[in-house]
Amino acid sequence: MSILVTGGAGYIGSHTCIELLNAGYEIVVVDNFYNSKRESLNRIAELSGKEFTFYECDIRDAEGMDKIFKKEKIDAVIHFAGLKAVGESCQKPIEYYDNNIGGTLTLCDVMRNNGCKKIVFSSSATVYGSNNVSPLKETMQTGGTTNPYGTTKYMIEIILSDIYKSDNEWSICLLRYFNPIGAHKSGRIGEDPNGIPNNLMPFITQVAIGKRECLSVFGNDYDTPDGTGVRDYIHVVDLALGHVKALGRALSGNTLDVYNLGTGTGYSVLDVVNAFEKASGVKVNYKIVDRRPGDIATCYSDPTKAFEELGWKAERGIEEMCEDSWRWQSQNPNGY
């Protein structure tokens, strides 16, 4: 059983590759290294003790992708490749629509032409927009996204749903991730952002290692227990294991499914800072600043559906997420 993993050199993709190899799947990875390093592939091989095939290819390159499908017998695709920075997407909407939507359309066209119609897609809690009240359930309305990145995820969900409606030989699983943090237990793979991190945990770990002076906490006047934003942080290894379950479902039938992958528990920014300090023994210098435009007060999942239908639930708590993020950062102060 051979699984194509697009964006497999990236943060979530690399952790998922390991869990797929551990589960006995053969994998073929495609990445263009736009936001990742080749070294992550060496480490996937090292940690899993298994070989796999890799192609450096842009998923928008229809000819290149077609050659890969002709050469490898691909049974299903897990599709991570895309651009993911909310702020940058507001500056570069053309690049975001081109890469995320154009890339997905090209991929699906090549898949169809080669008779491969099973796909697991990286969606995001961002598709719920800002009007729903947490805990967020899959049945809630989506849309009302506030930035081009979020809109690409929303639009791709619609595109994939339309593809399924047109031809229900497809099997499509949309996974709405909440906030992935943490790293593989070994400290050998983890999140390696370029430049100044946008997300909370890589910023915290870079302050702790001394690469940045101070964490800016974006607002403490939200309607939350301590006034700072509340999110559903999920360990990246739990997220990776969710993909293995989702893949099993996609391979076993012809369905269109959507699942939240979160823990169901919300933590505030200050909760995360405190948990990190406890796990690492390092003090994190922070200051309260203005709210970040576009942020909402609270966002956490109801993960019941993934448990009932996939038999998946997140097992790793906030302490472990912080310990593992810190092990990765402290063992790899400059990333890969």
128 is catalytic: no
User: CB-wise, 215 or 258, nearer to ligand UFG?
Assistant: 215
DSSP letter assigned to residue 98: I
Cα–Cα distance measured from residue 265 to residue 59, given in angstroms and rounded to the nearest whole number: 35
Q: What binding mask, one character per residue, do residues 68-107 give for ligand NAD by CB under 6 A, x or -? A: ------------xxx-x--------------x---x----
Number of residues that bind ligand NAD (CB under 6 A): 28
How many Å separate Cα 104 from the centre of its chain? 16
Per-residue tokens: 62: 């229809």
Q: Pick the catalytic residue: 25, 149, 233, 300?
A: 149
In the list 27, 29, 36, 217, the residue contacting ligand NAD (rule: CB under 6 A) is 36
Burial level of 115, CB count in 10 A (0-12/13-18/19+)? exposed
Q: How far apart are CA 242 and CA 175, in angstroms?
A: 9
State in angstroms the smallest separation of the CB of 162 from ligand UFG: 22
Structure tokens of 87? Answer: 């702020």
Nearest to 80 by CA among 27, 130, 146, 128: 27
Least distance between ligand UFG and beta carbon 23 (Å): 26
Looking at beta carbons only, is 4 or 7 nearer to ligand UFG?
Answer: 7
Buried b (16+ CB within 10 A) or exposed e, 93-102: eeebbebbbe
What does the binding site for ligand UFG look like in residue numbers (CB under 6 A)?
84, 86, 124-126, 150, 178-179, 198-200, 203, 215-218, 229, 231, 269, 292, 295
Residues with catalytic roles: 149
Residues that bind ligand NAD (CB under 6 A): 6-7, 9-13, 30-36, 58-60, 80-82, 84, 99, 103, 122, 124, 177, 179-180
